Structure 1
Amino acid sequence: GLIARSSDYLDQLSGELPATKSPVAWAKADVSDANEVKSAFEQLGQTLGPTDLLVFHASAGGPFGQGVLSIDPKDFARSWAVGTLGGLLCAQAVVPDMLKKGAGAILFTGATSSVRGASISFSSSKFALRGLAQSLARELWPKGIHVAHVVIDAVIGEQGTANTPPGPEPLLDPDAMAEAYWQLAIQDRSAWTLELDLRPFGEKFFE
């Protein structure tokens, strides 16, 4: 199941997914809006059944590079509403299903800015999301729900394709990322990961 603000994007993305025996469904929602999130997950539940995995990576960090005197408080609030409040709202939507099963996984996507200050609005939101992930893990791990935070420290892209970003920057392959997330989702509960850093072998740390 997929959730995003744009129907066109969701339609395109669902068409790019490889064919499987499992159905693909999507719902349009602004993750900072509690009513829209609730409605979206109810819609997906009717098609796909109870949720057993949530991957949350929404963010609204821009504009970047503004200092404390120039940043618009509305931009700051919007970044937090999407990147942090959205994470809470989505977790609230799926946790009841997971509690009934005593199992499930909630994976939050962070960034270098989750652990090192940079852009004021983006870093503040990502720091807060990391704190949310740790707090939920303390509450939900004992109930069988794996909560983890993934720090992405690289440019994402595929080498040698039309979509390859310009420049010599090492790239984090999206298929390899997906495999790392999947391994978190199926990880044995005797050795759960709380936080995972993903970066290419040639990437300089936290730059």
Structure 2
Amino acid sequence: MAHDRVAVVAGVGPGIGIRFVEIFAREGYRVVALARNADALARLRAGLGTVAERCVFWPTDITDQAQVKQTFARVRSELGPVNLLVANGGAGSKRGSFLDITADDFTGNFRGCALGPFLCAKEAIPDMLANGGGSIAYIGATSSVKGYAKSSAFAPGKFALRGLAQCNAREFGAKGIHVFHVIIDGGIDDIPLGEEREAKAGMLDSRAIARVVAQAVAQPKDTWMQEFDIRPSTEQW
């Protein structure tokens, strides 16, 4: 179990984002949860229970370089260097016919899916290099590897995220930084905090996704995975 290491979860909502916060806090990390909306973050914090004592929730637009720099400087000042980054940007991105999407739709999605994780990694990697290693989990989707009809605004950003993960892994793996990309291939049942039930049939359990990512972070250096896909057993692929 980690002790007083620092994890940043960038892109925290009521689905898998808060489950990443929860599991790494339980693993002993001090967790920094980032999202744009302060009220939404406050509601999520209230639902965590006692584990929230290991977490801070700081409103940050991860696509804004100045905000990202300011937040990571605060992390270092108040908590210490970053050991783990979970980049979960791009949720809720617009989908629709290519003929209907706008340039703003495209660039907005690209910023959330790729630019935000890029900016966060730019801040986290120097900390990891200075401390002899760390981990970065880039959270992708089926659209990271398949360009579906009506996903022209979404898939390019996820393709870029996958490329970023490969570039980072090849550049920094030998320097002790485990960079991996997770392809979430299927619908997610975002089970609310405090609710104990099985995931709906044919859907991924948000709690289980977080557990799998935590297992990947804990892999020994001689058996690192760079990419893996996860799906429910009934998913057609």
TM-score in terms of structure 1 length: 0.89
Partner of 2:115: 85
Quick one: distance in 2 between partners of 1:20 and 1:63?
Answer: 33
Q: Does 1:146 align with 2:181?
A: no
1:104 to 128, 134, 147: 134
- The alpha-carbon distance between structure 1 residues 63 and 164, as it changes in their structure 2 partners (threshold 3 A), is farther
SS at structure 2 position matched to 1:120? coil
Percent of aligned positions that are identical: 39
1:19 aligns with 2:50: yes
Amino acid at match of 2:144: S
Tell me if the contact between 2:62 and 2:68 (Cα under 8 Å) persists in the aligned partners.
Answer: yes
Q: Show structure 1 runs of 5+ residues with no match.
A: none
CA displacement at 1:12 relative to structure 2: 1.7
More moved, 118-127 vs 69-78: 69-78
| Cα shift at 1:45 | 2.9
Alpha carbons 1:27, 1:44 under 8 Å: kept: no
Mapping of 1:56-71 within 5 angstroms? 56-59=87-90, 62-67=93-98, 69-71=99-101
Find the partner of 2:103 among 59, 68, 73: 73
Question: Cα offset for 1:157?
Answer: 1.4
Question: Offset of 1:44 from its aligned partner?
Answer: 2.7
Residues 18 and 193 of structure 1: CA distance in aligned 2, closer, same or farther (over 3 Å): farther
Q: Note if contact 1:113-1:127 (Cα within 8 Å) is conserved in structure 2.
A: yes
One-letter amino acid of the counterpart of residue 98, structure 1: M
C-alpha change, 1:47 and 1:86, in structure 2 (3 Å) is same
How far the C-alpha of 1:169 sits from its partner, in A, is: 5.4
2:164 corresponds in structure 1 to 132
Residues of 2 paired with 1:87 and 1:76: CA distance?
17
Equivalent position amino acid for 1:85 in 2: L
Are 1:55 and 2:86 counterparts?
A: yes
Q: In structure 1, how many angstroms separate the alpha carbons of the residues matched to 2:120 and 2:153?
A: 21
Deviation at 1:49, TM superposition (A): 1.6
How has the CA–CA distance of structure 1 residues 116 and 91 changed in structure 2, closer, same or farther, with 3 Å as cutoff? same
For residue 179 of structure 1, what is the aligned residue in structure 2? 211
Q: Distance in 2 between matches of 1:158 and 1:65?
A: 23
- For 1:22-44, what per-residue CA distance to the aligned partner results, in whole angstroms no more than 9, with x for missing partners? 62112111111100111112223
| Alignment-derived partner of residue 41 in structure 1 | 72
Q: What is the 5 A alignment of 1:157-172? A: 157=189, 170-172=202-204
Change (3 A) 1:76 1:162: farther
Deviates more, 1:107-116 or 1:18-27: 18-27
What SS is found at the alignment partner of 1:74?
A: helix
Q: In the alignment, is the contact (CA less than 8 A) between 1:25 and 1:44 conserved in 2? A: no
In 1, the alpha carbon distance for the partners of 2:235 and 2:53 equals 36
Give the unaligned 5+ runs of structure 2: 1-31
Report if the CA contact (8 A) 2:186-2:235 is conserved.
yes
Task: Give the AA of the match of 2:124.
Answer: V
In the other structure, the counterpart of 1:114 is 144
1:120 partner letter? S
Structure 1 runs (4+) greater than 4 angstroms displaced: 161-165
Q: Which amino acid aligns with 1:17?
A: L
